[in-house]
Structure 1
């Protein structure tokens, strides 16, 4: 079965958002590490845990995103579609709270964060287009 155009567009936007997120993480890595070191300076054990926990959590996050992409774009798994939708809605909500509260990251990292989140939201919209119903097994062929 050929993949619908909306799934191809989802794939491009979703992977683009993931790439933006990885670039943003790399760009802000040293700043984030310094902030965490300052916050855990009073508790050396916490600093040791954070030093390996953050890279592991980052890798797990990227891995989950790649698994969701695979099961949505290559396997047509409706469950993955809904998991990705929930995660992106939460991300948009958290970003909106941070923006309205004035706590969102400033500068290029903030701009890339907004762009990546917009890409994710638009990619999810493409999962609900009429041409995806057969792909996700929501109607018969």
Structure 2
């Protein structure tokens, strides 16, 4: 049986992916318009299909990491996810320093980041650490 921290990680992480999918759908038109305005992308002929492919690959990688962590207890996948989330947070901080419009897609993007960070925090609880290392899980009520 999986530890409670892993179950919580799974719920939060899958919720972050669901919010990300909703955000992509809502922001698709604006993303394609931005690609079409960029002269470099015009030269390459990249448009809506490119945006969809990049999103699908990114989501696929996140789903693979979820599966490896939550279902197969692969510890290295945890660290790959931690690195990706850390890079995302750094990227978020850089984009917050620039001017941006506060709209639905911005709020959903911030919610996605918050859910990802909250999910990753659960991977560092004692029962999750033990489970990912292949040890007997520690009962979280032991320390209460």
TM-score w.r.t. length of structure 2: 0.87
* 1:137 matched residue in structure 2: 133
* 1:29 matched residue in structure 2: 28
Does the alignment pair 1:114 with 2:110? Answer: yes
- Which of the pair has the greater relative contact order for Cα pairs under 8 Å at 6+ separation? 1
Take 1:63 and 1:133, find their aligned partners in 2: how far apart are those partners? 24
* 2:6 matched residue in structure 1: 7
Assess, with a 3 A threshold, how the Cα gap between structure 1 residues 12 and 43 changes in structure 2: closer, same or farther: closer
Does the alignment pair 1:90 with 2:87? Answer: yes
Take 1:101 and 1:68, find their aligned partners in 2: how far apart are those partners? 31
**Structure 1: unaligned runs, 5 residues or longer:** none
| 1:50 Cα deviation after fit | 3.3
Take 2:42 and 2:31, find their aligned partners in 1: how far apart are those partners? 17
Take 1:76 and 1:31, find their aligned partners in 2: how far apart are those partners? 38
1:82-112 deviation digits (Å, cap 9, x = unpaired): 000000011111111111233x453111111
Take 2:55 and 2:16, find their aligned partners in 1: how far apart are those partners? 15
The one of 60, 75, 80 equivalent to 1:78 is: 75
How many residues get paired? 136
Assess, with a 3 A threshold, how the Cα gap between structure 1 residues 117 and 105 changes in structure 2: closer, same or farther: farther
- After superposition, the CA RMSD in angstroms is 1.7
**Structure 2: unaligned runs, 5 residues or longer:** 137-144
Residue pair 2:36, 2:42 contacting (<8 A) in 1 also: no
